[in-house]
Structure 1
Amino acid sequence: MAIMNLLVAFNGTEASEAALRYAASLAKQRGAHVTALLVHSAHDTFDTTSRWIPREARNLLADAQKGIVSEIVEQFERLRPTLGLGDNLVLRTQKGRVDIVLSDTARSFDILIVGRPMRGDDEHVVLHPDRITLLAGRPVIVVPEGYDVEARHSHAALAWDGGRAAARAMSDSLRLLEQQGKVSVLTIGPPVGSLDDLMAHLKRHDIEAVHEAWPAGHSLVDSVVSYCKRHDPSLLVMGAYEHSKFREDFLGGHTAQILREISIPILLSH
């Protein structure tokens, strides 16, 4: 998949600024286009159009929300000159349910790049990368706050269990992995299917693949997080929610835990 048309969720948070800079870096390498999308929702706790709410109160709520959006747009415009994309960068704003709008819009782009959610994000613009990954049908890269796009890394990492979601993530990330040139394939216990076929597939895409294995019974989260802390790859590629999200949430899902603990970008596919 050629990566020429990038969508970025920009909501004014530190993490969304890191996501925007990450997208700009990818775009400059490829001559690609970046669309930044600011999605903002109204409070869901009550209907501000209700005739039972005084007009003055409705006006105050509307003005407050407009103020939040205006501040984020101004922040974006201050960042624009530092990104070096010129006409290849546009900003759009849209009102609606944040996760739904981003998921629907992402289907017409190559990839969606979002910042990692943080406590204290304004409820009007907060997003949930795990939900978006399930809904969008496109790969999602989650960038942590403060990530330095200029940092140098030696390789990428692929969390592999041979399952459907992992295969989708590997395929969705091939152009990025080809650019990196070296990939560590991380497995715990015996993977489903032929590991030799996977290594040959990567080699045929001019990717140097090495295998890092842990015995069955090791914690997936602890193994992947500790590996990434030790070796600092440029990107972690993994399938999201191979089991149902309800089951993952109920059991303390691996996807959500890794998102919280990893300090590098993560490409998720489902």
Structure 2
Amino acid sequence: MPVMNLLVAFNGSDGSVAALRYAASLANRFGGHVNAMLAHSTHEVIDKRTRWIPKEARVLLDEANARILREIEARFETERAALGLPEGLRLQEVSGRVDQVLSEAARHYDVMIVGARSEADDEHVTLHPDRIALLSGRPIIVVPAGYDAGAGHSHAALAWDGGRAAARALSDSLRLLEDEGRVSVLTVGPRNPWPISDLMAHLSRHGVEATHEDFPTSDPVAETLLGWCDAHSPSLLVIGAYEHSKFREDFFGGATTHILSRTRIPVLLSH
């Protein structure tokens, strides 16, 4: 079944511009449809209800917040026109908790495409791709800022540990892997002892030419995967997110977080 219905989270960042370009390329490749959403928080850094804030200052704060949103919309429109996306495509604006809003929206699409998180993003529109993958139940493709190679893949990498999250990521990405036709299966770190030959046979039956590279279980997962991708330049890395607890990942700094913060290629993330 082709990837047909795509949602782009657009917040005006360089990452979100890369995500929109990637989505346009993916839609063109599969004959799909693109929607775009600007999710923003209603949280105020300053409580304007207090009587100590003059009326004039409240007006200025409202104008500043509105200006940020209008600037994002203008950048979206510029990109939309340059990419040849339909004039009917508009940036849907939704307020609320950003990750929650996007997670709920993602459930109505095949894939959500987002830009990699940046510390430079305005706090009212900041999103966390890993949390969205965790909450939404849908695959998320994270595109790093500056990535402009399109979605014309020829070779993908699949991080495999035999766990539930990895299996979900494989299932969610299979249509893309079939289209690419060539996949490197990378096993590194602790993993399920089930024979890897069954996975290779599964990929072969889907018309995918797969090779397997095994690394010592003692090797650091994130550094090994990132180093391999830098050396071999796949067009997509497929990983399962948070096989262990999200709290543990946040507290100790896990492979998922590390990969998303340093990737140079798109990453398909599933939980």
TM-score (norm 2): 0.94
Per-residue CA deviation, residues 81-130 of structure 1 (Å, 9 max, x unaligned), is: 22123257332111111111111111111111000011211111111111
The aligned amino acid for 1:255 is T
Deviation at 1:248, TM superposition (A): 1.3
In 2, the alpha carbon distance for the partners of 1:243 and 1:235 equals 23
Deviation at 1:195, TM superposition (A): 1.1
Partners of 1:98 and 1:126 within 8 A in 2: yes
In 1, the alpha carbon distance for the partners of 2:152 and 2:34 equals 23
In 2, the alpha carbon distance for the partners of 1:83 and 1:139 equals 24
TM-score (norm 1): 0.94
Map 1:210-229 onto structure 2 (within 5 A). Answer: 210-229=211-230
Alignment of 1:248 onto 2:249: yes
Q: In the alignment, which residue of structure 2 is the partner of 1:59?
A: 59
In 2, the alpha carbon distance for the partners of 1:88 and 1:197 equals 46
Q: In the alignment, which residue of structure 2 is the partner of 1:6?
A: 6
Alignment of 1:70 onto 2:65: no
Structure 2 regions of 5+ residues with no counterpart?
none
Alignment of 1:201 onto 2:202: yes
- After superposition, the Cα gap between the structure-2 partners of 1:209 and 1:249, relative to the gap in structure 1 and judged at 3 Å, is same
Number of residue-to-residue matches in the alignment: 270
Q: Percent of aligned positions with the same letter in both sequences?
A: 61
Deviation at 1:154, TM superposition (A): 3.7
Q: In the alignment, which residue of structure 2 is the partner of 1:36?
A: 36
Per-residue CA deviation, residues 120-164 of structure 1 (Å, 9 max, x unaligned), is: 111111111111111111000100000022487641000000000
Partners of 1:33 and 1:89 within 8 A in 2: no
In 2, the alpha carbon distance for the partners of 1:77 and 1:107 equals 25
Q: In the alignment, which residue of structure 1 is the partner of 2:186?
A: 186
Q: Secondary structure of the residue that 2:117 maps to in structure 1?
A: coil
- After superposition, the Cα gap between the structure-2 partners of 1:190 and 1:200, relative to the gap in structure 1 and judged at 3 Å, is farther
Partners of 1:189 and 1:213 within 8 A in 2: no
In 2, the alpha carbon distance for the partners of 1:195 and 1:88 equals 47
Q: In the alignment, which residue of structure 1 is the partner of 2:16?
A: 16
The aligned amino acid for 1:62 is D
In 2, the alpha carbon distance for the partners of 1:231 and 1:133 equals 26
The aligned amino acid for 1:214 is F
Q: In the alignment, which residue of structure 1 is the partner of 2:122?
A: 122
The aligned amino acid for 2:179 is Q
Partners of 1:24 and 1:34 within 8 A in 2: yes
Q: Please, which moves more after superposition, 124-133 or 161-170?
A: 124-133
Q: In the alignment, which residue of structure 1 is the partner of 2:97?
A: 97
Could you say what the CA RMSD is over the residues aligned between the two structures, in angstroms?
A: 1.8
The aligned amino acid for 1:243 is H
Q: Secondary structure of the residue that 1:124 maps to in structure 2?
A: coil
Alignment of 1:161 onto 2:161: yes
- After superposition, the Cα gap between the structure-2 partners of 1:243 and 1:24, relative to the gap in structure 1 and judged at 3 Å, is same
In 2, the alpha carbon distance for the partners of 1:185 and 1:87 equals 41
- After superposition, the Cα gap between the structure-2 partners of 1:253 and 1:44, relative to the gap in structure 1 and judged at 3 Å, is farther
Structure 1 regions of 5+ residues with no counterpart?
none
In 2, the alpha carbon distance for the partners of 1:154 and 1:112 equals 21
In 2, the alpha carbon distance for the partners of 1:89 and 1:268 equals 26
Deviation at 1:76, TM superposition (A): 1.0
In 2, the alpha carbon distance for the partners of 1:249 and 1:240 equals 12
Deviation at 1:261, TM superposition (A): 1.6
- After superposition, the Cα gap between the structure-2 partners of 1:183 and 1:133, relative to the gap in structure 1 and judged at 3 Å, is same
